[in-house]
C-alpha cells in the first residue's frame, strides 16, 4: 500500500494534518482551497453514478486533445486499446479524511530510527552517484535521500495501481477531469517515448510514480537521464531518480550551502502572532526579539529572510525556516511534509531528534512500535490484515474496541499509552 501523506496545510499553526491518500500535485493544487467545489461535486455525484459504458466513448473523445498534445493517433490507439476504468480511484478521489493525524504521529512514523538507518545504508550504497548528483545540481545530497525515503521508502513502495488505468478513469469521471487529462496525456507521452514501460508505470491512485513519486507532468518538466542509457527512468534507475529529485529542488530555488532552517528557542512570553512560514523577516529581527538557537547560542545577525514555524503552536518545537525549506515545500505542498524531509536529512547527517518535546503526554509510535501494536491486536483476535506498520481503517477499528475495553478515550489513535496498556495486559 502506498504510504499516505497529509494534503492539508498547517500554515495556520494547527497541530494536526489530515490523513488523506497521496495527492502529489507538486504545489499546483491546494486541496484545502477546494472545499466549496467539493460540496457541489458531491451533490452532483449522488445523482450521477459513474457508468462504465461511457468509458470507451470518452477515450474516443479525448483522442483529438491527445493528438493536440503531440501524441500520434496510432500511439493513442495502441496505448489505450486495452484500458478499462477503475472506479475505485473515484472513491479515493472523493475520500474525505475524517481521521486527523497529529504532527507528532505523522513525524514519528516518517522519521524513525529505522528510516535513518535505512537512509544511511542507501547513502553508503549510492555514495558515488550522490557525489556526482550534488556536484552537478548543487543540492544537499542528504535532502535528496530524505525525499527518496519519505516518498517510496527508498524504492520499496511505489504503489500498485496501473497509472494509465487510474489517469484515464480520472480523465473521464469525477471532479478535476481537466487536471487529470493533462496528466493522462503526459503519462501516454512518457510511455510512447520509451522512458518507462506501461507495465512499470504504477503508482498511487493520483498518478505519482517511481522512486521519488513524480506526477507525469513533473516528470516531463524535470526528470533527467543521469545514468546515460538514453531513458529517463524513475522506476528502474536509482541514479535517474536521485538526479531528477535534485533537479526538482534546484529548479525550486535550492541554495547550496544554506540550511533549510533549524530548531530555535523562544523567550518566555514570546508573542507568536508573527509566526508563519511565509512571514519572512530578517534573521536579525528575530534575534532582537530574543529568539536563540536551541542550545541558547545567538542566531547571529544578518538579513537572511526567515519564517518562524510553530507546527504545534507556541508550546511545541519552534523552527526558523529559510529559502531551502520552501524548495522542499514545493515538492508536496504541506509544511508537515517538508519538516519530515528536512528533519530526516538532518538525522542522516548525524543530527539529533528535536530538543523540544511535542506538547502531548502521549507521543506517537515509530514503525517498529506500530508493528508491535498490530501484532498485539492480532493476538487479541482482531482481523487487521498483515503486520505492515501502517495503521489503516481496520487497525483503527480494532484500536477503538481495545480503547473501550481499557477505559481509554475512544478515538482510534495509536499512541504510547495504548501500546503500553496492551503490552501490560496480555490476553
- Smallest gap from Cβ 214 to Ca ion, in A, equals 14
- Smallest gap from Cβ 254 to Ca ion, in A, equals 22
Q: Which set of grid coordinates corresponds to residue 181?
A: 487529462
- Smallest gap from Cβ 198 to Ca ion, in A, equals 17
- Smallest gap from Cβ 131 to Ca ion, in A, equals 18
Residue placing its CB nearer to Ca ion in the complex, 17 or 224: 224
Residue placing its CB nearer to Ca ion in the complex, 129 or 391: 129
Using rule CB under 5 A, residue 372 touches Ca ion:
no
**C-beta of residue 328 within 8 angstroms of C-beta of residue 318:** no
Q: Which set of grid coordinates corresponds to residue 349?
A: 547527517
* Cβ neighbours of residue 335 closer than 8 Å, sequence gap 6 or more: 9, 10, 11, 277, 309, 311, 329
* Cβ neighbours of residue 59 closer than 8 Å, sequence gap 6 or more: 80, 83, 168, 172
**C-beta of residue 253 within 8 angstroms of C-beta of residue 327:** yes
**C-beta of residue 157 within 8 angstroms of C-beta of residue 2:** yes
User: Angle 113-125/335-348 helices, nearest 10 degrees?
Assistant: 60
CA 268 remoteness from chain centre: 34
- The residue written with cell numbers 507568536 in the block is 272
Residue placing its CB nearer to Ca ion in the complex, 183 or 240: 240
Strand 202-203 relative to strand 100-102, pairing: unpaired
- Smallest gap from Cβ 243 to Ca ion, in A, equals 9
The secondary structure of 180-230 as a DSSP string is HHHHHHHHHHHHHHTSS-GGG-EESTTS-BTTTTB-HHHHHHH----S-SS
Contact set for Ca ion, span 170-229 (CB under 5 A): 225, 227, 229
CA distance 402 to 385: 17
CA distance 352 to 355: 8
CA distance 385 to 363: 25
Strand 318-321 relative to strand 261-265, pairing: antiparallel
Q: Which residue is nearest to Ca ion (CB)?
A: 225
Residue placing its CB nearer to Ca ion in the complex, 240 or 402: 240
The secondary structure of 328-378 as a DSSP string is HHTTSS-HHHHHHHHHHHHHHTTPPSPSSPPS-SS----HHHHHHHHHHHH
Q: How many residues bind Ca ion (CB under 5 A)?
A: 7
Residue placing its CB nearer to Ca ion in the complex, 233 or 346: 233
Residue placing its CB nearer to Ca ion in the complex, 105 or 240: 240
Total length of the chain: 427
- Smallest gap from Cβ 330 to Ca ion, in A, equals 24
- Smallest gap from Cβ 133 to Ca ion, in A, equals 13
Phi/psi of residue 347, each to 5°? -65, -35
CA 257 remoteness from chain centre: 25
- Smallest gap from Cβ 224 to Ca ion, in A, equals 8
Q: Which set of grid coordinates corresponds to residue 380?
A: 487479541
- Smallest gap from Cβ 196 to Ca ion, in A, equals 10
Residue placing its CB nearer to Ca ion in the complex, 240 or 335: 240
Of the candidate residues 240, 263, 326, 369, the single one contacting Ca ion (CB under 5 A) = 240
- Smallest gap from Cβ 239 to Ca ion, in A, equals 7
Residue placing its CB nearer to Ca ion in the complex, 137 or 329: 137
- Smallest gap from Cβ 142 to Ca ion, in A, equals 23
Residue placing its CB nearer to Ca ion in the complex, 229 or 258: 229
Of the candidate residues 78, 136, 176, 231, the single one contacting Ca ion (CB under 5 A) = 231
CA distance 170 to 51: 13
Instruction: Find the part of the chain contacting Ca ion (CB under 5 A) among 39-47, 233-241, 267-275, 280-288.
Output: 233-241
Residue placing its CB nearer to Ca ion in the complex, 80 or 244: 244
Instruction: Find the part of the chain contacting Ca ion (CB under 5 A) among 39-47, 87-95, 232-240, 392-400.
Output: 232-240
Instruction: Find the part of the chain contacting Ca ion (CB under 5 A) among 85-93, 239-247, 306-314, 410-418.
Output: 239-247
Residue placing its CB nearer to Ca ion in the complex, 230 or 350: 230
- Which residues contribute to the site for Ca ion (CB under 5 A)? 225, 227, 229, 231, 233, 237, 240
Amino acid at each position: 500500500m502506498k504510504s499516505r501523506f497529509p494534503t492539508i496545510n498547517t500554515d495556520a499553526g494547527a497541530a494536526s494534518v489530515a490523513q488523506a491518500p497521496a495527492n502529489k500535485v507538486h504545489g499546483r493544487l491546494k486541496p484545502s482551497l477546494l472545499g466549496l467545489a467539493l460540496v457541489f461535486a458531491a451533490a452532483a455525484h449522488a445523482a450521477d453514478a459513474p457508468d462504465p459504458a461511457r468509458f470507451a466513448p470518452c477515450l474516443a473523445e479525448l483522442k483529438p486533445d491527445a493528438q493536440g498534445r503531440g501524441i500520434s493517433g496510432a500511439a493513442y490507439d495502441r496505448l489505450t486499446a486495452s484500458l478499462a476504468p477503475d472506479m475505485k480511484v473515484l472513491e479515493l478521489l472523493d475520500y474525505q479524511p475524517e481521521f486527523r493525524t497529529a504532527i507528532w504521529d505523522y513525524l514519528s512514523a516518517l522519521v524513525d530510527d529505522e528510516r535513518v538507518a535505512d537512509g544511511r545504508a542507501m547513502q553508503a550504497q549510492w555514495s558515488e552517484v550522490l557525489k556526482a548528483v550534488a556536484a552537478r545540481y548543487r543540492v544537499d545530497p542528504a535532502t535528496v535521500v530524505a525525499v527518496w525515503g519519505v516518498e517510496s521508502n527508498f524504492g520499496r513502495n511505489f504503489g500498485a495501481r496501473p497509472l494509465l488505468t487510474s489517469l484515464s478513469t480520472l480523465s473521464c469521471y469525477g471532479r478535476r477531469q481537466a487536471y487529470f487529462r493533462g496528466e493522462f496525456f503526459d503519462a501516454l507521452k512518457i510511455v510512447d517515448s520509451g522512458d518507462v514501460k506501461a507495465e512499470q508505470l504504477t503508482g498511487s491512485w493520483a498518478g505519482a510514480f517511481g522512486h521519488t513519486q513524480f506526477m507525469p507532468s513533473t516528470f516531463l518538466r524535470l526528470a533527467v537521464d543521469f545514468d546515460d542509457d538514453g531513458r529517463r527512468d524513475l522506476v528502474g534507475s536509482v541514479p535517474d531518480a536521485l538526479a531528477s529529485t535534485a533537479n526538482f529542488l534546484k529548479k525550486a530555488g535550492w541554495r547550496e550551502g544554506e540550511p533549510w532552517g533549524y530548531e530555535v528557542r523562544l523567550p518566555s512570553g514570546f508573542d507568536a502572532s508573527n509566526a508563519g512560514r511565509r512571514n519572512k523577516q530578517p534573521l536579525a529581527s528575530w534575534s532582537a526579539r530574543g529568539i536563540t538557537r536551541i542550545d541558547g547560542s545567538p542566531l547571529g545577525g544578518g538579513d537572511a529572510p526567515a519564517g518562524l514555524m510553530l507546527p504545534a503552536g507556541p508550546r511545541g518545537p519552534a523552527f526558523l525556516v529559510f529559502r531551502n525549506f520552501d524548495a522542499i515545500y514545493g515538492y508536496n505542498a504541506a509544511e508537515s511534509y517538508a519538516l519530515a524531509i528536512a528533519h530526516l536529512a538532518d538525522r542522516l547527517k548525524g543530527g539529533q531528534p528535536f530538543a523540544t518535546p511535542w506538547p502531548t503526554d502521549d507521543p506517537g509510535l515509530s514503525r517498529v512500535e506500530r508493528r508491535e501494536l498490530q501484532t498485539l491486536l492480532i493476538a487479541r483476535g482482531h482481523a487487521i490484515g498483515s503486520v505492515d506498520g501502517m495503521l489503516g481503517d481496520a487497525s483503527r477499528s480494532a484500536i477503538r474496541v481495545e480503547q473501550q475495553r481499557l477505559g481509554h478515550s475512544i478515538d482510534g489513535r495509536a499512541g504510547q499509552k495504548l501500546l503500553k496498556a496492551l503490552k501490560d495486559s496480555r490476553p
